[in-house]
Chain A
Amino acid sequence: MSPLRFSLVADDSHSDDTVDRLPSVPFRILMPPVSLSSLRKGARGTVSQVREDPQTLGDEAQSTVSRRLLELGFIPGEALEVVAETWPGGDPMAVRLGNTLFALRRREAGAVLVAVEGC
């Protein structure tokens, strides 16, 4: 897949910066990051940040959507692509993150900010 991720990882491991910053990638990211929930099928990009989403994912207070998103690998610099939407309404959606496919609703997707590729 893209060599981008590995170089990023190497960068990050030597830096003290906060992870929320936009990675300085060597190709064009023209737009400010947008919410994953606004993306349609076929859109690609890289995760730039996971926002705090206090919605709990289970019955325990610690297990929030944001925490699980991070645990599943939605961390800055990871490439993702929206691969499917349901009909009608396009909700839930299916997102490929690296090599793994996830189904999530637009509302959960709202916690992920994405730097969209191309345009």
Chain B
Amino acid sequence: MPAAPVALEPMRLALVGVPNCGKTALFNRLTGSRQKVANYAGVTVERKEGSFVGPSRGQRYRLLDLPGAYSLTPTTLDEAITRDCLLGRLAGEAPPERVVCVVDATNLRLNLRLVLELRDLGMPLLVALNMSDLARDRGFRLDRQRLEQELGVPVVETVAIRDGGERALLERLEALPPPAARPAADWLDPTFEQIQQTQREVRRILHEAGYTEPARRRALQRLDELVMHPVAGPAILAALLFFVFQAVFSWAAAPMALVDAGVTWLGAALHAWLPPGALNSLLVDGVIAGAGSVLVFLPQILILFFFILVLEDSGYLPRAAYLLDRMMGSVGLSGRAFIPLLSSFACAVPGIMATRTIPNVRDRLATIMVAPLMTCSARLPVYALIIAAFIPNRPVGAFNLQGLVLFTLYVAGIVAAMLVAYALKRTALRASYHPLLLELPEYKLPNLRNLMLGLWERLKIFLQRVGTIILALMIVLWFLSSFPAPPTGSTGPAIQYSFAGMIGRSLEHVFAPIGFNWQISLALVPGLAAREVAVGALGTVYSLSNTGDDVAATLVPMIAKSWSLATALSLLAWYVFAPQCLSTLVVVKRETNSWRYPLIMAGYLFALAYLAAFATFRVASALTT
């Protein structure tokens, strides 16, 4: 079988498009799960690259998914990265050899100007016309060949949510002439007159190609009437968020019980099977009791991410930003801050990275500084543990008391964030006025494939954490907790005499005023690496505090009988602020390029946590005695 000679080097492709054009769906379809997510050198803009092999001649491709951009004149860091990459101005990033510009067929008026801007750069360009089923269903008309003629670049139809179209796309891509020269390094931002000329050219081309814009669907317009209603809109938003947090608690109950039972069974089986001794204790008390108690929260984290991904994919989030703009404006934040802050409910790290869509530096910094106050999923294990141990599981009206307490904790985080933002914008980050200009994309059904890939990514990250950082810390903690061995003739549990016991007791001096015993004080130390590790640490500490047979007993009843309610509430209050998350601080450092902001952040969070826990403990102690 004769094969055409194939270049050994994979061809570098870049995927460009305005936000919401269906670019990510095409990227996912072309590359499947062969994706690498990293950062561009020096900035926290996420760099997504995937590889695949072409259908015809075995040509390999490396596809770079550039951040969505409306224009080559950037207003956000995302757009700046896209421009710099295309113009070859990005250090450590070779400019792409071919550019694929994805355009949404239902909204060519908005999409085509970028195509003309890219075409004029003189790079080999191909237009992927994203034909959603929506477009066909709604009386959309377009002469593709004519469009191709008018644009002077190949136009290929793709249906981003179904297979098909890629083959044609790649064949046309391979037929493109190679880049003639380096893209215009002297590219200048167009003048206003030039922009208007380009816009007129877009309209002329669309007219020539017989383009009829599909009508917006009546049902969706009615939905917007409701969702963006000045009164009903915020009510719907509040109800939606409340539902998500209730679901995180109630839907996860069954799978969590299953994971818990599995971990307990494994621990008991291993305990019985291995000869008694140090190895037995390390595996059962250290690894399984420690890492297992964090693993239990996987279902809740996946459910939370599921909802965030659905909201993101459906087009609802920008509407929420619109609804909240005034409220967020009252504390000095932009409505745009809503999206990063919502992501921070899952994890502050992606949340802080998402602040790159906020155009102004001071707005962005203020958002970064309050992002860790949003209740991230790593706090969920701590909340869930304490709530399960101390808050009765009984119905309150249509709701559940445990769910209500959890909701209150989330609200406390939000209120704290607003107050901090207000204080920051009044003082250090005082800034002049910043505009809001936001596209509200049409609603669409979330794409199942994107949803699954997104959840899969989260699952991988979580398991990697459990398998690496958390596991390692658990083992270290086990050593600290097991050595030195108690002196002969001692009566108390062995851990009291260990290094961990000593550390815990010296820290207790600091934390006793807020009601923490030495076990909690000790658990806060490995909790520095990641908040949820505190739960694993408590698992290890309490597991080692018990003698022999109680090992299999779970943590919940154990803390329920050894802590007072005031201590439990104080720990909850501590965790509303809880500065201890190294990954967040590292991301803030990288994001702001200095240690100043992470240090300020850690300092103010620690102070607030201590104050809040102190007040809570004193009030609760007074009320419960």
Which of A65, A68, A89 has the most CB atoms of chain B within a 10 A radius of its CB?
Answer: A68
Minimum C-beta distance from B415 to chain A (A): 21
Q: Is the CB of A58 within 8 A of B75?
A: yes
Chain B residues positioned under 8 Å from A48 (CB to CB): none
Whether A75 touches B224, Cβ cut-off 8 Å, given contacts A58-B75, A101-B439, is: no
Contact between chains at B215 and A1 (CB < 8 Å): yes
Q: Complex formed: what's the CA distance from A105 to B437 in Å?
A: 7
Q: Could you tell me if B109 and A98 are in contact, using CB atoms closer than 8 angstroms?
A: yes
B335 and A92 contact, CB distance less than 8 A: yes
Looking at the assembled complex, report how far the CB atom of B324 sits from the nearest CB atom of chain A, in whole angstroms: 9
Given contacts A58-B359, A72-B437, A108-B436, contact A63 B207 (CB under 8 A): no
Q: Are B325 and A10 in contact (CB under 8 A)?
A: no
Mark contacts of B163-196 with chain A using CB atoms, 8 A cut-off: 1 yes-contact digit, 0 otherwise: 0000000000000000000000000010011011
Query: Is B74 part of the binding interface, using a Cβ–Cβ cutoff of 8 Å?
Result: yes
B147 → A minimal CB distance (Å): 15
Centre residue among B233, B325, B436 by max chain A CB count within 10 A: B436
Which residues of chain A are near B360, meaning CB under 8 Å? 58-59
How far is A69 from B437 in the complex, measured between Cα atoms in Å?
8
CA distance A66 to B71 in the complex (A): 13
- Distance in Å: Cβ of A34 to nearest Cβ of chain B: 20
Q: Which of A55, A65, A66, A70 has most chain B Cβ within 10 Å?
A: A70
A105 close to B322 (CB less than 8 A)? no
The answer to whether B75 and A105 touch across the interface, beta carbons within 8 angstroms, is no
- Residues from chain B with Cβ under 8 Å of A92 in the complex: 322, 325-326, 335, 436
Question: Which residues of chain B have C-beta atoms less than 8 A from A5's C-beta?
Answer: 203
Known A-B contacts A91-B326, A105-B435; the reply to A63 vs B74 at CB < 8 A is yes
* Cβ B439 vs Cβ A100 within 8 A: yes
Q: Which residue of B lies closest to A63 (CB)?
A: B75
Contact digits for A70-100, partner B, Cβ 8 Å, 1 yes 0 no: 1111011000000111111101101000111
Q: Which residues of chain B are near A59, meaning CB under 8 Å?
A: 359-361
Contact B322 A68 (CB under 8 A): no
State how many angstroms separate the Cβ of A69 from the closest Cβ of chain B.
7
- Note all chain B residues with C-beta closer than 8 A to A24: none
- Contacting pair B80 A60 (CB below 8 A): yes
Residue of A nearest to B80 (CB): A60
| Binary flags per residue of B194-232, CB closer than 8 Å to A gives 1, else 0 | 011001110110010000011110000000110011110
CA distance A69 to B439 in the complex (A): 11
- Whether B75 contacts A57 by the Cβ 8 Å rule is yes
Query: Do B192 and A83 have beta carbons less than 8 Å apart?
Result: no
The CA of A60 and the CA of B224, in the complex, are separated in Å by: 33
By beta carbon, the residue of chain B nearest A59 is B361
Q: Distance in Å from the Cβ of A103 to the closest Cβ of chain B?
A: 4
B399 sits at the interface (CB 8 A) = no
Is B76's CB under 8 angstroms from A58's CB? yes
Q: Is the CB of A108 within 8 A of B435?
A: yes
Contact A107 B433 (CB under 8 A): yes
Cα–Cα, bound, A69→B467 (Å): 49
Instruction: Please determine whether A55 and B437 come into contact, CB atoms closer than 8 angstroms.
Output: no
B195 touches A67 (CB 8 A): yes
Query: What residues on A are CB-neighbors of B113 within 8 Å?
Result: 71, 73
Tell me whether B106 is interfacial, beta carbon within 8 Å: yes
**B109, A73: Cβ atoms closer than 8 Å:** yes
B5 to chain A: closest CB distance in Å? 43
Please tell me if the beta carbons of B204 and A10 are within 8 angstroms of each other in the complex.
Answer: yes
Residues of B within 8 Å of A88, CB to CB, are 230, 326
CB B428 to nearest CB in A, in angstroms, measures 17
What's the Cα separation between A30 and B228 when bound, in Å?
A: 31
Closest 4 pairs between A and B when the two form their complex, measured CB to CB: A87-B230, A58-B359, A58-B75, A9-B203
Can you report 21 residue pairs joining A to B where beta carbons are below 8 Å apart? A1-B213, A1-B215, A6-B207, A12-B200, A50-B192, A55-B435, A58-B74, A58-B76, A58-B360, A60-B74, A62-B189, A63-B359, A67-B192, A67-B195, A70-B196, A72-B110, A73-B109, A75-B200, A100-B107, A101-B439, A105-B435
- 19 other contacts beyond A57-B75, A101-B439, with CB at 8 A cut-off? A9-B204, A13-B204, A50-B192, A55-B433, A57-B435, A60-B74, A65-B437, A71-B195, A72-B110, A73-B113, A75-B199, A75-B200, A83-B224, A92-B436, A98-B213, A101-B224, A103-B321, A103-B440, A105-B325
